[in-house]
Structure 1
């Protein structure tokens, strides 16, 4: 039987970007509004690192560091001394965008997108790829909210939610353009919409269905095969973790910036067990340093 449990009494304002690091055997995630990185150890201890501005996502790299996407810029962050080293600023001329969701591809490049915070009729957010030489390129434009970047087990298919209640799929070349764009999953057909996502070892896409208070599993052919009701209205993102990569961690939202939930459990971190699925170890960000 599927088991959903709350992890600690901590409540995030805008929990997002969960990431399980296989080497450290711990979970990272962010509270975007508070500007915090959080780290859950196997003994249950939670460490918190305040960035003093909004944060979208992160990817772990070697030497106890991470690449992080703050409001307008990319930085390296050291967990050892809590120092920041700026890589670059992006979209400085666009007052209404900020960095949002991100994840590494199977080769260790960081894929990260921005989002329009209010003015979404003429979307100007985008999706970027940062390689090991720290070269930054735009790989998709006309984005409303960049959410749920994830990859098929072999890394040749890229999934991504552009903020239009759908998940798109592309053929993926880690050194080239995104090609063969198609709609993989249309949330409107199920009366819902997707947020953060991850892929299991069988190629199924697991996603937070924020429009219906659920976690969904979508087959590689695009069919919604499983719907799990959550105890909060706004689950936000998912990642497989645990010693066997068979536990699904779920972040949630109390204050999205547009709406505030009065639910007691809103903003909690959850763990789902007994799903009968296993994830894939995420690749660390690989740079030339």
Structure 2
């Protein structure tokens, strides 16, 4: 099924990223990485609310009681109070890497936040992949990363998928659900970059298939559990950045995009750039994402 693509909200996010559907509150959340904002709406795009965080933001997770966010900002990992907007620094994992910022993240099935960092010029392998739990424990899962993207988990949580965008690969790791450690890194699939696209945000559906946004080519790709391309969805903009299943039945694929490329070498786009899209009719459902520290 090709799916039906509609605009949920045309809000021109400079760098829309990190959609998260919270099944308990029935709300969609996403960020504008460049402008430092968190957004929330209903599944229909109504009741829109925004929080200003004052610096670039890579990703968020909803806290266990739905009163706060865990947010990966440029200067560290923060707790942001939903009512007041106040932010509290939890940990700065890279005080000696001023050229880096924190980027994509996802909560594992046990409530840990797994997030990465990146070189802001997307040139040097100075980034890492981290895990942070409710006790305050920070662990390094991977090093030597240029641009961390697409962490997501198999339905049973025992496989972690992750991309360093400019390697052109998606990796799979054995993931120890008891302690959050990774092992046995292997290539899950080689991303088709012939159309100018690169691996960006990702999610896993209820059948264990991996969905990934290929930024700069305007395509969404579904990979089977063995890494083969199962389906390609064409989007109306080139700079699709990330995606998440949501809606009351978890059967809508929400896709973020960017209105302005972060560096001059990246392409411009059409009038719908920066919109949040809703893709329906895929015949697939997602998995309810856990909250941080659940």
TM-score bucket of the superposed structures, by smaller chain: over 0.9
**Is residue 107–residue 289 contact of structure 2 (8 Å, CA) maintained in 1?**
yes
Cα pair distance change 1:119/1:250, threshold 3 Å: closer
Gaps of 5+ in 1: none
Give the structure 1 partner of residue 158 of structure 2: 156
1:100-122 residue CA offsets vs partner (Å, 9 max, x unmatched): 000000000000100111162x4
Give the structure 1 partner of residue 272 of structure 2: 265
CA RMSD of superposed structures (Å): 1.5
Shift in Å at residue 218 of structure 1? 0.4
Q: Secondary structure at the match of 2:289?
A: coil
**1:99-248 mapped onto 2 (5 Å cutoff):** 99-118=102-121, 120=123, 122-163=124-165, 164-174=167-177, 175-188=179-192, 191=195, 192-248=197-253
Q: Distance in 2 between matches of 1:6 and 1:54?
A: 25
Once the two structures are overlaid, the 10-residue window that deviates more, 171-180 or 134-143, is 171-180
Shift in Å at residue 260 of structure 1? 5.9
Q: Distance in 2 between matches of 1:85 and 1:253?
A: 28
1:167-219 residue CA offsets vs partner (Å, 9 max, x unmatched): 10000013153111111111147654321000000000011012431111000
Shift in Å at residue 256 of structure 1? 3.1
Q: Normalised by the size of structure 1, how large is the TM-score?
A: 0.95
Q: Does 1:48 align with 2:55?
A: no
Q: Does 1:60 align with 2:68?
A: no
Give the structure 2 partner of residue 73 of structure 1: 76
**1:21-32 mapped onto 2 (5 Å cutoff):** 21-32=22-33
Cα pair distance change 1:262/1:202, threshold 3 Å: closer
**Is residue 254–residue 260 contact of structure 1 (8 Å, CA) maintained in 2?**
no
Shift in Å at residue 90 of structure 1? 2.2
Shift in Å at residue 45 of structure 1? 2.2
**Is residue 213–residue 221 contact of structure 2 (8 Å, CA) maintained in 1?**
yes
